[in-house]
């Protein structure tokens, strides 16, 4: 592969409508740094794939401009954008060998035969398929086919690689393995990657930054740890990882800490991330692993709930409780090899720090 180089991508006030009335992408402003691995994450219909298709050149932007290395590309056809693509269905030519599949984008670029052979050899070695060049796609496993698809996207040293749900067809174990492999390839090459998925774990595992899409807009753009630890609104909190939701009204606000009276009268203290003020409705977001069972120290929030279900998951117990009007409140209890006395119907005290629960915009 060539020396490290990346692409600076910029979306400037980009909109997209298919019917001339409804916008599926709304005023998108987004900068992607050279060499960055940025994931567009969101549910179906949130606009993430449409953004990728506009960047690839397969869909025109209705309004606004897309730049690649400060060069406007709205009117540049896909094959002239110098972008590599990896699709969920691999899109390999079945009648060609693996080596011929990889050589195809080099032939289109009228590269010499010797350069083609050298680049194909390097690309196959990069994905650990050096001995598979003469096989056809049908003779490969799903994971091997996906490796070929990744190699083909990188073989011509693109400025940018786009990946659209590339691991969606693989089983769980292979998908996780490929996540690490793609991440390591990216780290070794330093090429810019824009990755689309609806899989939260995939996004958190692989990305430098994650853009969470909903209703055609980016709800939050952050590094994975910031996204998980400090969601800026209720949608992000609910969409990223497991999350407990408690609703109530802000009764006191001092600095970045607020007191909240829940709908059942319970009083809690929380980190005031996104609240309108005293008297406003709010939704408290709390990760299950931040809740302490049998709290042996004084915590700002201590409350009693009723155990509804206990599931043994090896490294932890997943305890479903009825807490403050939420019948699906989840607590993750780390398995320390002790004999936990947790039973359905049992009353149990739990607790957590105020800084571990976030008061956010209210949701229904």
Share of the chain above pLDDT 70, in %: 96
Model-level pTM? 0.87
148: domain CATH number is 3.40.50.300
Phi, psi of 223 (to 5 degrees): -65, 155
Name the strand (E) or helix (H) holding 143.
Answer: helix 142-154
pLDDT per position as a tens digit, 96-117: 999 999 999 898 888 899 998 8
Residues 60 and 123 in one domain: yes
Same domain for 167 and 305?
no
Mean pLDDT of 134-156: 89
Range 214-237 average pLDDT? 95
User: Does a structural domain hold residue 304?
Assistant: yes
Q: Please indicate, yes or no, whether residues 290 and 172 belong to a single structural domain of this protein.
A: no
Looking at 47-56, 79-88, 339-348, which range is the least confident one? 339-348
**pLDDT score recorded for residue 340:** 61
Shared domain for 24 and 129, answered yes or no, is yes
DSSP-based three-state secondary structure for 311? strand
Strand partners, 195: 39, 163
What is residue 2's predicted lDDT score, i.e. its pLDDT?
41
pLDDT of residue 7: 52
DSSP E strands: which ranges in the chain? 9-17, 23-32, 37-41, 63-68, 71-72, 83-87, 160-164, 192-197, 209-214, 217-222, 244-254, 257-262, 267-272, 281-286, 292-293, 301-312, 316-323, 326-334, 347-352, 357-360
The pLDDT score that the predictor gives to residue 272 is: 94
Query: What per-residue confidence (pLDDT) applies to 1?
Result: 43
The predicted-structure confidence for 171-220, as pLDDT tens digits, reads as follows 888 888 889 888 988 888 889 999 999 999 999 999 999 999 999 999 99
- Please tell me whether residues 40 and 84 are part of one structural domain: yes
State percent of the chain over pLDDT 90: 65
339 vs 158, residue with greater confidence = 158
Instruction: Indicate the number of domains in the chain.
Output: 2
- Domain with 115, as residue range(s), is 9-229
């Amino acid at each position: 592969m060539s020396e490290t180089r990346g692409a600076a991508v910029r979306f400037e006030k980009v909109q997209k409508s298919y019917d001339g009335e409804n916008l599926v992408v709304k005023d998108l402003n987004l900068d992607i740094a050279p060499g960055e691995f940025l994931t567009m994450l969101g549910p179906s219909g949130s606009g993430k794939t449409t953004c990728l298709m506009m960047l690839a050149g397969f869909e025109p932007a209705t309004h606004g401009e897309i730049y690649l290395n400060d060069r406007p590309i709205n009117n540049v056809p896909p094959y002239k954008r110098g972008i590599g693509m990896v699709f969920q269905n691999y899109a390999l030519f079945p009648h060609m060998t693996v080596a011929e599949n990889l050589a195809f984008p080099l032939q289109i670029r009228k590269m010499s035969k010797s350069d083609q052979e050298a680049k194909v050899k390097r690309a196959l070695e990069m994905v650990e398929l050096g001995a598979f060049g003469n096989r056809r796609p049908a003779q490969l496993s799903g994971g091997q086919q996906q490796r070929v698809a990744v190699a083909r996207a990188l073989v011509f040293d693109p400025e940018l690689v786009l990946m659209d749900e590339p691991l969606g067809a693989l089983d769980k174990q292979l998908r996780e393995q490929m996540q690490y492999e793609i991440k390591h390839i990216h780290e070794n090459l330093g090429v810019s990657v824009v990755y689309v998925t609806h899989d939260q774990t995939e996004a958190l595992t692989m990305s430098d930054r994650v853009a969470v899409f909903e209703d055609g807009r980016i709800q939050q753009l952050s590094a994975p740890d910031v996204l998980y630890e400090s969601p800026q609104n209720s949608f992000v909190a609910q969409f990223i990882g497991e999350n407990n939701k408690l609703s109530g009204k802000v009764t006191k606000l001092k600095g970045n800490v607020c007191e909240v009276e829940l709908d059942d009268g319970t009083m809690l203290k929380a980190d005031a991330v996104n609240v309108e003020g005293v008297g406003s409705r709010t939704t408290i977001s709390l990760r299950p692993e931040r809740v302490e069972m049998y709290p042996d120290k004084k915590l700002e929030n201590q409350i009693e709930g009723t155990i509804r279900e206990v599931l043994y998951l090896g490294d932890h117990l997943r305890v479903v409780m009825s807490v403050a009007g939420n019948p699906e409140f989840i607590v993750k209890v780390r398995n320390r090899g002790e004999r936990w006395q947790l039973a359905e119907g049992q009353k149990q005290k739990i607790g957590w720090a105020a800084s571990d629960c976030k008061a956010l915009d209210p949701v229904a």
